[in-house]
């Protein structure tokens, strides 16, 4: 059936009215409200802030027992009115995610294959390498332009790149840690 532009709008208008009548008859808002209530029924609700970025969207975190069962935007947040961006809307995956790695993957220098290692082993290895690198390459004093010996306390052999997956507090701690180590190559990919 071919329709003129005018006929198309006429039919679309009637369909819209039909749909609206259907929604009103079913009481869709009540159905939606009931569905939401069932999902989080008897759950404890905690207010929180999305950990990802400095927009600081508030969240409602629902838990049952030791598990988080749902996270959604907090409607009282003045600058978002309860909305979250896709990353914030997926924060439940920080807690519930069967695909989340629980072991470290390590590839030894010169090797072509990755080996699974326990997380604790990885922490120890990182700490050891940080320590050894700092011991070896820390620059305590340097000559300035006039050739005068000055204290610089600088470490150029380690660079630090922050991540959008670390939260504001973690960024703060990382900054403090890097400064304490004398690391000068200190960057964050989002630059927030």
Q: Binding marks (x or -) toward ligand SF4, 83..102, rule CB under 6 A?
A: -xx-xx--------------
Q: Which stretch binds ligand SF4 (CB under 6 A): 40-48, 82-90, 153-161, 180-188?
A: 82-90
Count residues near ligand SF4 (CB under 6 A). Answer: 10
> Three-class SS string for the chain?
CCCCHHHHHHHHHHHHHHHHHHHHHHCHHHHHHHHHHHHCCCCEEEEEECCCCCCCCEEEEEEECCEEEEEEECCCCCCCCCCCCHHHHCCHHHHCCCCCCCCEEECCCCCCCCEEECHHHHHHHHHHHHHHHHHHHCEEEEECCCCCEEEEEEEEEEEEEECCCCCHHHHHHHHHHHHHHCEEEEEECCCC
Q: How far is the CB of 166 from ligand SF4 (least distance, A)?
A: 12
Subset of 148-187 contacting ligand SF4 (CB under 6 A): none
Q: How far is the CB of 32 from ligand SF4 (least distance, A)?
A: 22
Q: Binding marks (x or -) toward ligand SF4, 23..62, rule CB under 6 A?
A: ---------------------------x-xx-xxx-----
Q: How far is the CB of 44 from ligand SF4 (least distance, A)?
A: 22
Write out the residues near ligand SF4 by the rule CB under 6 A: 50, 52-53, 55-57, 84-85, 87-88
């Amino acid at each position: 059936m071919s329709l003129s532009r005018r006929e198309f709008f006429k039919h679309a208008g009637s369909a819209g009215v039909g749909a609206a009548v259907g929604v009103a008859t079913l009481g869709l808002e009540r159905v939606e409200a009931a569905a939401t209530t069932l999902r989080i029924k008897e759950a404890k609700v905690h207010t929180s802030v999305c950990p990802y970025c400095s927009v600081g969207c508030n969240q409602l975190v629902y838990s049952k027992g030791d598990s988080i069962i749902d996270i959604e935007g907090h409607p009282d947040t003045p600058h978002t009115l309860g909305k979250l961006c896709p990353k914030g809307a997926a924060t439940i995956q920080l807690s519930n995610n069967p695909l989340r790695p629980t072991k470290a993957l390590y590839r030894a220098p010169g090797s072509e294959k990755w080996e699974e290692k326990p997380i604790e082993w990885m922490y120890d290895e990182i700490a050891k390498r940080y320590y050894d690198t700092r011991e070896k390459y820390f620059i305590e004093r340097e000559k300035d332009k006039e050739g005068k010996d000055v204290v610089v306390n600088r470490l150029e052999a380690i660079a630090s790149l922050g991540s959008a997956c670390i939260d504001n507090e973690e960024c703060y701690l990382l900054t403090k840690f890097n400064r304490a180590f004398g690391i000068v190559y200190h960057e964050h990919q989002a630059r927030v």
